Structure 1
Amino acid sequence: MTRPYRSVLYIPAANQRAMEKAQTLPTDAIIFDLEDAVAPDAKIAARDGLAAALGNDYGQGAKIVRINGMGSEWGKGDALACAQAWSGKADAVLIPKVDSAADLDAVAALIPDLPLWAMMETPLGMLNAAEIAAHPRLLGMVMGTNDLAKELNSRFRADRLPMQAGLGLCLLAAKAYGKVIVDGVFNAFKDEEGLRAECEQGRDMGFDGKTLIHPAQLAIANQVFAPTEADVDLARRQIDAFEAATAEGKGVAVVDGKIVENLHVETARKTLDRAQAIAAMGQ
């Protein structure tokens, strides 16, 4: 079964209370953030305290550490801590502002045994999305829509029209190379209707899940990015109908008045696999 990434919650690595609370939250993954969420004068202390936090039980959720950029004064130290103090505790390392595959190479050289994730948040990163997604150590991509909006000097729109080119390029790259890709954050954490609409848009586009900034956003993301009962029922009926048709020497089946071909069955199997993986997490 493929691990789900419906909900990916940012937690400041300097906030011990938040990291403790996160042990009880129904999130598919946690990003322990050493970058944007930690003030410069707190970064070393946050790094030093993260090893103990990563040793705690977070259930079956993935533990991802976002380090500082390699061009900063903290980046190399963060990477070395990933390779040493956090070895066997973190599941992956997230690299900010990835512009090209060379940025991944620089971190991979320091961290030999952890999967890499890339923050996609710069115009150059959008243009180089394919070479980034093709990197052999890369497991997933995270859209950094706040930083991208800043770089584009775009205005906020509920339909995210200014984001569509960048989101689309990264989605195509991730799907082409079989990598996980999660959508950017929704900043108005008290706006449940707005969050649901953006989650639905992201799910329709093909994202695997959404990054979140507050635990109150978890329930909606987990619901939207999970197969519904109707999705699971349809998937099972499509598989059964196609297998019955195949046994009769036919190449297609019909379910609910619609043609079902092998490509639909492949999608149906992925839907069942996703539902089973979510059920296995008990969330």
Structure 2
Amino acid sequence: MIDSGKEDLQQEIELPYRLGGLLYTPALNETIAQKIIEHRIPCLTSLVFCLEDSIMDHALDEAENRLRCTLQKISESGNNSLPLLFVRVRTPNQLRRLHREFGSLANLLTGYVFPKFDTTNAADYLDLLAEINAASSHKVYGMPILESRAIADSRTRGKELTNLRQELMAMKNCILNVRVGGNDFCNLFGLRRSFRQNIYEIGVVRDILIDIVNQFSDVFVVSGPVWEYFGASEDERWEPGLRRELELDRLNGFIGKTVIHPSQLPVVYESMKPSQADYEDACNILGWRSEMLGVAKSRDTGRMNEVKCHKNWARKIKILGDIYGAKAEAFGDVK
């Protein structure tokens, strides 16, 4: 007999990893509903309807109306095989009003994205998230985006991140993951990477990202920054740069990525797959059988596995392999 409680818990543990590439689309997009319903976007696992930076201020009312029409169309389709859907709002007040106006349409949403999340608005967003969940028939998740000046500035970053961690820990069961605004950080310093470069080559931004991982990744899944280059062809010159940045994302503790064009999704989806060697080692570590030894060779005898040192890594790899499958590459190398 299947223990439904354990199954539900496992699904909740896996959910932050299922976002994969989180595709952003402006809420004004008039064609996105049909594309979602007809599964016309390959490798689409999650999507955000954006009401923030992608919408000009004077077009906000129209964008909200369009979003309601989009959700209504998706609801009327009766399609139960949907990606995880989110709305990126501008302020807590807008979130409160929209969630109320959505009514039953809010049941289509996995949650909301909180932009420019810092200590000036964290309590308002999180208190509201608690209120929404208290009145909701299903769990509603929040995803804060860390991208403000107080986090970018090395003089205030440490205190800011520590305070934000305390705020998020109080609501950790409703925080799906922590996201970072790579382009916002770059903009604060007047910087931009080319398609040949990756964000870790921008030293001042790399330091911010690493501090965020240091502060949050022991409890939360932290998602990688957006890659702003895209194209329709498989041999486009931007792909090697994205693959390299995804490799460095994983190496530094980020899982998943913000995506701004459907052509990026297959690359991100493939990057979510651990190597077969990693997956097998992860399974062996989590199912450790020796009562005496805490160290052993990997299955292909090419490296050492140590149960005490590698268990946290193994848990992540096992989850990713179970969701996305594994690929036949040695020790997580990217080709």
Cα displacement (A) at 1:17: 0.7
**How has the CA–CA distance of structure 1 residues 54 and 170 changed in structure 2, closer, same or farther, with 3 Å as cutoff?**
farther
Q: Secondary structure at the match of 2:112?
A: strand
Q: Secondary structure at the match of 2:243?
A: helix
Q: Which residue of 1 aligns with 2:150?
A: 124
Comparing 114-123 and 270-279, the one that deviates more: 270-279
- How is 1:1-283 mapped onto 2 (pairs within 5 angstroms)? 1=10, 2-3=14-15, 4-23=18-37, 24=39, 25=41, 26-54=43-71, 56=74, 57=79, 59=81, 61-69=83-91, 76-85=93-102, 86-100=105-119, 102-111=120-129, 112=131, 113=133, 114-126=140-152, 127=157, 128-134=160-166, 135=168, 136-137=170-171, 138-156=175-193, 158=197, 159-176=201-218, 178-190=219-231, 191-239=238-286, 242-243=288-289, 245-246=290-291, 249-255=292-298, 256=301, 257-278=303-324
Cα displacement (A) at 1:213: 0.5
**How has the CA–CA distance of structure 1 residues 17 and 82 changed in structure 2, closer, same or farther, with 3 Å as cutoff?**
same
**How has the CA–CA distance of structure 1 residues 169 and 82 changed in structure 2, closer, same or farther, with 3 Å as cutoff?**
farther
5+ residue gaps, structure 2: 1-9, 134-139, 232-237, 326-335
**Count of paired positions:** 268
Cα displacement (A) at 1:60: 5.1
Query: Does the CA contact (< 8 Å) of 2:19 and 2:46 recur in 1?
Result: yes
**How has the CA–CA distance of structure 1 residues 259 and 225 changed in structure 2, closer, same or farther, with 3 Å as cutoff?**
closer
RMSD of equivalent CA atoms: 2.4
**How has the CA–CA distance of structure 1 residues 90 and 50 changed in structure 2, closer, same or farther, with 3 Å as cutoff?**
same
| In structure 1, distance between residues paired with 2:147 and 2:94 | 23
Cα displacement (A) at 1:58: 7.4
**How has the CA–CA distance of structure 1 residues 250 and 132 changed in structure 2, closer, same or farther, with 3 Å as cutoff?**
same
How far does the alpha carbon of each residue in 1:151-189 deviate from its partner, in whole angstroms, 9 at most, with x for none? 12335362232311110121122213x122111211111
How far does the alpha carbon of each residue in 1:15-63 deviate from its partner, in whole angstroms, 9 at most, with x for none? 0213432442322221110111122232112212323433524735321
Cα displacement (A) at 1:224: 1.2
Amino acid at match of 1:146: N
Cα displacement (A) at 1:77: 3.0
5+ residue gaps, structure 1: 71-75
| In structure 2, distance between residues paired with 1:130 and 1:19 | 39
Q: Which residue of 1 aligns with 2:136?
A: none
| Structure with more strand by fraction | 1
Amino acid at match of 2:146: M
**How has the CA–CA distance of structure 1 residues 250 and 266 changed in structure 2, closer, same or farther, with 3 Å as cutoff?**
same
Query: Does the CA contact (< 8 Å) of 1:5 and 1:182 recur in 2?
Result: no
Identity of aligned residues (%): 22
Comparing 159-168 and 149-158, the one that deviates more: 149-158
Amino acid at match of 1:59: S
Query: Does the CA contact (< 8 Å) of 1:35 and 1:68 recur in 2?
Result: yes
Q: Secondary structure at the match of 1:217?
A: helix
Cα displacement (A) at 1:209: 0.7
**How has the CA–CA distance of structure 1 residues 223 and 231 changed in structure 2, closer, same or farther, with 3 Å as cutoff?**
same
| In structure 2, distance between residues paired with 1:253 and 1:53 | 54
| In structure 2, distance between residues paired with 1:277 and 1:216 | 21
Cα displacement (A) at 1:270: 3.1
Cα displacement (A) at 1:82: 2.2
**How has the CA–CA distance of structure 1 residues 106 and 13 changed in structure 2, closer, same or farther, with 3 Å as cutoff?**
same
TM-score by length of 1: 0.84
